[in-house]
Structures are given as C-alpha cells and as structure tokens.
Structure 1
Amino acid sequence: MAVFWKEWYDLRLRFFIILIVFIFMLIMTISMRPYTSTMMDQISEEFGNLPDFLKNLIGDPKLLNQLENDDFYLLSQWYGKNLGQFLPIIALIIAFPIFARETEKKTIYFTLSRLKREKVFWSKYITGLSFTKTLIGTLTLLGPLGMRIAGYNVHLSKPLLILVHEIIAMLFLYSLYIMFSIIFNDQIKPILAGLATIFIMPIFSFVESLSFLNIYPYLMGQSIINNLGIDWKYSIVLIALSIVLIFVNKKLFMIKEF
C-alpha cells in the first residue's frame, strides 16, 4: 500500500492539470455549438462555387450537415476530435515516469530493498492504470453532461459505447508506454519512444494493408459514430495484446538490473 499511495501522490498533480485542461477544451467545444449551424449553412450554399481542392478538403457537405444534430456534434467534435486525438498523449503523460523516474533518480534501490519486485510492479502498474481509467471515464461522461447543462438534447448510449473502446485502447497504450518506462533508465527516452508511436500510427492509414495498426479510428469510436456498434474483433485483439504486454512488462521488471 505504501507504493500505491506514493504513486498516487506523484500522479495527482498531473491528473488534475490534465482534467482542468480538458474541461476547458470541453467548454470551448460546447461554446462553438451555436455557430456550427450557421457555418454549415453557409458552406452548403457556397459549396458549388468553391475550387475543387477546397471541395476535396471539405468532403461531402451532407456529412457536414449532420453537425446540426446535437448528438452527432458531440460524438464527432468531442470524442472524434478534441478528446479522442489526445488520449494517447494522456496515457503517455501518466505512464512514462511510473518506473523511469525512480530508475533515473536511483530511488528504486530503496523501494526494492523493502518490497518484493512483483509487489512493486503491480502497485505501480495498477495505480497508473487506475488514474488513466478514472480520467478518461470522467472526461467521457462530462461530454454529454456538459451538453445537457448547456441546454442541448444529447443521449448517453453512444458515449458509453465509445467509453468501452477508450478503456480497451488505453489499456493497450498504457501497457505499451509502461514497457518503455521499464526498459529505459531515464525519463526522456520513454517520452521520445511514446511520441514516436503516436506520430507513426496515423501514417499506417496510408497503406491499406497496414491501416489496422492505426488505433486512432478505434479509439475515437469511428464505428460507433457510423452506427456500426462496438468493433468486437478489434477489441478482442487489443485485449489479448494488452495481456501479453502486461506479462512482458512484469517479466522485464523482474529481470532488469538496477
């Protein structure tokens, strides 16, 4: 429990900073809602007169008109954009120092001298994961709550389905970033490795045979927004990979020389 509370103390500042930043982003997203209908009407009226490159950039104006629907606006602009695209960064911010910080500061020796490695691993891993899940759960549910407070008619069913995608995807990403935190002996390299994965993932979408490696469409609930429901196949694969990563991480920590 001592390790758990130490990690909790170390993570709480990051937790509240992230929470405050994203609450501000949610307020901005909701505050833009009244202007969306006007903007979409203007784009639809002038779409035929726009240059071809702008038409390609905007896409199908019928899809843009869906933004007039409160539910679609919330799903696309919050989960599919402002919150969704930053979730991997949230996982990285929480995960990278979990093990690397103590290794860099040499304080890991004192921790391991008092406690078994297995207990240290699970205490640190579970604390960070708990913070991650609590944070994304809070931010996900604040979306429809904020819209309702602002007077918009939104439903909770699809946000809850997207939350399932987020929890599974963040379990995978958190476990991946924890591996970087264990492998490297300083805090810079896990950050760089994590950022590399974040920037590389979207590139896979340009190669059809590798597009499944881009986790962003799943993380943002694309299939749910498109009324296809939860992507169970992708979910099962991510859960399986997460379990493998967890045990690989545990093994790496157990054999690592400090």
Structure 2
Amino acid sequence: MPGALCSTCNRCRSMRSSCGLWRCDVKALMWKELRENRLKIIAGCVLLSIIGLAVSIAYRFLERGIPGMGQIPPEYADLIKKLMPDFSNVNAYLYSQWFSKNLQQVGAILAIVLLGSAVAGERELHTAIFLFSRPVSRGMILAAKVIVLFGGLVLAVLVSTGGAVLGALIVGKAPQSAFVLAATLHSVVALIAFASLATLLSVLVPDRVKAMLFSGGIIIVLSVAGQFKPLRWLNPLTLFGSPNLIISPVPQLVPIVVGVVLSACMLGISHYILQRQEF
C-alpha cells in the first residue's frame, strides 16, 4: 500500500510527496518553530505595543512644551527645541518617534533575536544533525523556519503599530490612514531585510550569539557609514522610507523594491550555503 511504503521508505521523497506526508512533516516543523519561539514573539509583541502606546500618549504632554522654557537662555532653548520631536502634526510625530525611531530600533533587535538563532541555534544545541537528516529537504526546513519567524516579526509590527494608533486616538489625535499604512509597509519590508541578514549569518556562523552580534554589527556599521553623503546608498535605514511619507503618504517604490530584492538574495544565498553544509 502507498501509505505503508511511504512510512517505511524515508529515502523516497517522491513517494512521500504523492501521499502528502511531506506536508505533515512541514507542518510539524512549523509547529516546532512556533513552540520554540512563541515566547520571543509574544514578548516582542507586548514590548513593542507598550512602547507604541506610550509614545503616542506622550504626544499630549510633550506638545505643550517644557515648563519654564521661557526662563532658559535663548541659545539653550534653541538647542532643546531642535532635540524635541516634531509636533507639527500627529503624522510627523509618529514618523519621527515611532516608525523611524522606536519601531526601527526595537524591531531590528527582535528581527535579529528571532532569526539569528534559526540555524545556528540548531548547531549549538546539537540538533542540526537530526533536523537536517529528516526526509524533508533542507530548503523546506529553512522555509518553515522563515515562514514562522518572519510571520511572528510581521505580527509584532502590525500589533504594535495598532497600539501606537490606539494611543494617538486616546489623546484625540487621529493619524492619517494612508500614512500609517505606507509607513507600516516600509517598516515590514525593512525589518524583513534585517531578518534575512540575520538568517544568512545564522547559516554562516555556528554560534547563535555571534550570529546575532555580527548581524547587529553589520547593520550599525552600514548605518553609520551611510551618514556620509558619498556612502548614503549603504544606509539600511533608508528602507524605512523618507520623511516625504508625512507629506505624501504613498509607498516609495525604490526602498521597497530594494528591500524585497535584498531579502530574496540573502535568503537565496542562505539556501544555497545550507544545501552544501555538513552537520
């Protein structure tokens, strides 16, 4: 019987595909990833949501200015005003304090923590030899990890941005829907690119802590180098979109395309290297 053949012959992947057992294997792998990473995903959602809510609610108190500002010498007052967030409208405030600051920074950390241990963690725990000897291809194993962990990252972005919007509504400041959607799209694309980099480093580096540190280090170095005009194109933070989103809340094509292409390339390289590694 086909079922009996599939259950006794792990070498015959075509037979497993014909009876659908490979789908069960992939589902089992996805459940495994969800079980192992659910606390990270939940913690990321909760932490980012609290930050988003707090950032928006703080708008009510900060827009009034600092008490006693008139008593501060003009030269210091001007410096303080430059350091203060943009209160011209709630869209500008959310862009400067949420999308291009808190979500950018904490979201990048979450992306690195989730994906930095995707493959390196299996090696470190000595489970790679068992995981990658399963009848499912290594590509499918990597795909299962990426689907679950990227999904958790996107969920954290959506839930926390919802918290930021809720906070703005609580203080009576309704952000423009088109702006929120466009800025959220850019954030998702940028953080997936960061997560793809962490995935690649997780495949290359057998130690998950080192993989995370290298991923974060590369992002920081490129961000600093991108502050210089000739190297501006290296700055990965440009994937989050420019301040023009405040005025024209339409997704910016170039950062999105670049982010998608970079993610696809890094995941493709990860798959290529993983296929040729020995465990």
TM-score normalised by the shorter chain: which range applies? 0.7 to 0.9
Tell me how far 1:175 sits from its aligned partner.
Answer: 0.9
1:20 to 28, 39, 46: 46
Secondary structure at the counterpart of residue 119 of structure 2? helix
Aligned residues of 1:85 and 1:216 also touching (Cα < 8 A): no
Tell me how far 1:178 sits from its aligned partner.
Answer: 0.1
CA–CA separation in structure 2 for the residues paired with 1:176 and 1:98: 12
Q: 1:167 to 1:177 in 2, by over 3 A?
A: same
Aligned residues of 2:56 and 2:165 also touching (Cα < 8 A): no
Aligned residues of 1:97 and 1:181 also touching (Cα < 8 A): yes
Aligned residues of 2:45 and 2:155 also touching (Cα < 8 A): no
Structure 1 partner of 2:165: 144
Q: 1:70 to 1:256 in 2, by over 3 A?
A: same
2:210 is equivalent to residue 189 of structure 1: yes
174-183 or 72-81: bigger deviation: 72-81
Tell me how far 1:107 sits from its aligned partner.
Answer: 0.7
Q: In the alignment, residue 82 of structure 2 is paired with which amino acid?
A: G
Secondary structure at the counterpart of residue 98 of structure 1? coil
Structure 1 partner of 2:245: 224
Structure 2 partner of 1:59: 82
Please give the per-residue CA displacement for 1:112-162, whole angstroms capped at 9, x wherever unaligned: 222322221211122111111121122223221232134333222101001
2:114 to 94, 109, 114: 94
CA–CA separation in structure 2 for the residues paired with 1:201 and 1:229: 26
1:157 to 178, 181, 189: 178
CA–CA separation in structure 2 for the residues paired with 1:198 and 1:207: 15
What aligned pairs does 1:177-216 form with structure 2 within 5 A after superposition? Answer: 177-216=198-237
CA–CA separation in structure 2 for the residues paired with 1:60 and 1:150: 23
Secondary structure at the counterpart of residue 154 of structure 1? coil
2:278 is equivalent to residue 257 of structure 1: yes
Q: In the alignment, residue 30 of structure 2 is paired with which amino acid?
A: F
Q: In the alignment, residue 212 of structure 2 is paired with which amino acid?
A: I
TM-score (norm 1): 0.87
Aligned residues of 2:182 and 2:251 also touching (Cα < 8 A): yes
Structure 1 partner of 2:149: 128
CA–CA separation in structure 2 for the residues paired with 1:47 and 1:67: 20
Aligned residues of 2:189 and 2:239 also touching (Cα < 8 A): no
CA–CA separation in structure 1 for the residues paired with 2:252 and 2:231: 18
Secondary structure at the counterpart of residue 90 of structure 1? helix
1:108 to 101, 111, 128: 128
CA–CA separation in structure 2 for the residues paired with 1:73 and 1:132: 24
Structure 2, unaligned runs of 5 or more: 1-26
Identity of matched residues, %: 21
Moved >4 Å (runs of 4+): 40-43, 45-48
Q: 1:105 to 1:75 in 2, by over 3 A?
A: same
Structure 2 partner of 1:37: 63
Tell me how far 1:251 sits from its aligned partner.
Answer: 0.5
CA–CA separation in structure 2 for the residues paired with 1:28 and 1:141: 12
Select the structure of larger CA radius of gyration.
2
Q: 1:201 to 1:150 in 2, by over 3 A?
A: same
Aligned residues of 1:96 and 1:180 also touching (Cα < 8 A): yes
Q: In the alignment, residue 180 of structure 1 is paired with which amino acid?
A: L
